[in-house]
Structure 1
């Protein structure tokens, strides 16, 4: 039988990885962030030996070439977490045992890069090798070293370990398998990079605490996927209970008997446990329930122009028309009747 001969395209060697942080490289990176230039925040620049000293965040920057070191970083403290987007020359970023002892930070760094090249992470006697698009989880409670041989563009979140609840052990475990780019990890990586760009690099209002909690939920799910325990469950975590409480408010706020105590009973939590879920957010449970009722009433005002205010008040879950009027005016600046007249013309 004659042997089939296949023609192969000539081999093309990949372009060498860039090690110089030029203005062109910075401009290309900022373009990849996808933020409108008119809305971009002002970044911090790090140059040479002084820039190395100014690099903070509980870590030490060890460049391959100190004199030619360059870095640009956007970072921002959010309500519950932090976000950042950075671009830096080839370097090793370390958190030493001395820093762990004298500058304790109980956080989880979640990063993802988009540039070609390897990121090598050493922590707890293990070595992990990551490439562009891989999620990298690093707990700051133990020493680590993270090295790149080329320009790197990490973007991600800084999450207090306390927000992970019982899943904190996943972030700090000594032998965590490398993430193999599952569908969940790919989705999480894409979301985290976009979220970091929109919150750190864009000069825009802070996201709501609920949005931050949703981001943490996604990170927690990606962490949970790495466990070898088949019986592992996310449903017992405080983050799950927080989201369940919000869902109960969405579904039951029209019931005038619905209160925070109703949520506690439904979730089998004590009042203290329930309120702790929301102690670091910008709204109390009672306010969230009232706001949901106001929004429902507002929609009914416009959808039913001839429906009396008393009927709308009761249908939205308010115990009295007076309470409805006061809440509505606090939210919209005018009472419900005047609001409807203004909008309906």
Structure 2
């Protein structure tokens, strides 16, 4: 997916390099930030502020580079309005200047190289010095699988270059933001996925979560993914990577969802395919074994026969022979369900 890139000066980043009229400075700055981070109230003390905002879209993710020349404070209302940013998180790398973020009863004082997370769904205050530059990733909360209470434990915490994950995440986030428009789409997707994976690790570290932890939200998402798998079994391109992309979650988070299922994601897909093949082998007895295998996403008849034997202790042809000699009715229940 090619990125959608917009750039401009102090009015939303929409392909304009002209500075706004002086009397429009404050309003234009507000509009620029609102287009990027949601429709939030903005306070700019003193003279009208100017700056630039460069944004790009990567599916459900959005990157932004913001440069400002005057102090500003963002104060969003709870549940940002119909612009769709209400359930989004913002991960910000402060490159120049200093800033302070207040949210969820905490204050984070930030300097160059520091990272911080804030939630657009709840009130916060973010103050900058006279000159600053930030690089941010805006992402839906469900990408990280965080509940509202979990998010409240992650926000307004400083992650600096002196922390193990901070020193890894900062250059990766900067590379993702800077690479839009230059990197091939495949490279951008890989960098974005790695960035989200590190964000998930950062959240796990703050929350003290273990691999065994699970939430109701995780279960609901898992059920949706399993339904998606069933609908797409015939697609030979169905893979953990494709599933993660379709649900806008990291590959790491996808594998975590399946930890309680006694099967990896690939193993789950294979089990479901084998079950459908077994059914069709009995029901459509004039269809070749190879055709049945290809109908359910197996690209190699030999591979299908091998995994079928591993699962059921007999070759597909033997299974079909048993069914042909069995009385009319549903396929034999002698084999354990896949």
TM-score bracket relative to the smaller structure: 0.5 to 0.7
Q: Return the structure number with greater relative CO, CA threshold 8 A, min gap 6.
A: 1
**Partner Cα separation in structure 2 for residue 133 and residue 42 of structure 1:** 25
**Partner Cα separation in structure 2 for residue 202 and residue 90 of structure 1:** 30
**Are residue 74 (structure 1) and residue 34 (structure 2) matched?**
no
CA contact (8 A) 1:92 1:145 kept: no
**Partner Cα separation in structure 2 for residue 241 and residue 263 of structure 1:** 21
Partner of 1:260: 269
Partner of 1:91: 71
**Are residue 54 (structure 1) and residue 31 (structure 2) matched?**
yes
**Are residue 118 (structure 1) and residue 82 (structure 2) matched?**
no
RMSD across aligned C-alpha pairs, in angstroms? 4.2
CA contact (8 A) 2:4 2:58 kept: no
- Quick one: structure 1 residues 98 and 243, their matched pair in 2 at CA, closer, same or farther if it must change by over 3 Å? closer
Partner of 2:88: 107
Which runs of 5 or more structure 1 residues have no equivalent in the other structure? 1-38, 266-285, 295-312, 320-345
Following superposition, the deviation at residue 109 of structure 1 comes to: 0.3
Following superposition, the deviation at residue 149 of structure 1 comes to: 1.3
CA contact (8 A) 1:134 1:186 kept: no
Map 1:218-237 onto structure 2 (within 5 A).
218-227=198-207, 229=208, 232-234=209-211, 236=213
Count residues in correspondence. 227
Q: When the two structures are superposed, what TM-score results if normalisation uses the length of structure 1?
A: 0.53
Q: 1:45 aligns with which of 1, 4, 9?
A: 9
Following superposition, the deviation at residue 52 of structure 1 comes to: 2.3
Partner of 2:175: 194
CA contact (8 A) 2:144 2:253 kept: no
Map 1:236-247 onto structure 2 (within 5 A).
236=213, 239=250, 240=252, 242-243=254-255
- The Cα offsets for residues 2-37 of structure 1, whole Å up to 9 and x where unpaired, read as xxxxxxxxxxxxxxxxxxxxxxxxxxxxxxxxxxxx
Which runs of 5 or more structure 2 residues have no equivalent in the other structure? 11-19, 219-249, 259-263, 275-292, 306-338
- Quick one: structure 1 residues 263 and 131, their matched pair in 2 at CA, closer, same or farther if it must change by over 3 Å? farther
- Quick one: structure 1 residues 87 and 205, their matched pair in 2 at CA, closer, same or farther if it must change by over 3 Å? same
Partner of 1:153: 133
SS at match of 2:126: strand
SS at match of 1:110: strand
**Are residue 132 (structure 1) and residue 112 (structure 2) matched?**
yes
Q: When the two structures are superposed, what TM-score results if normalisation uses the length of structure 2?
A: 0.54
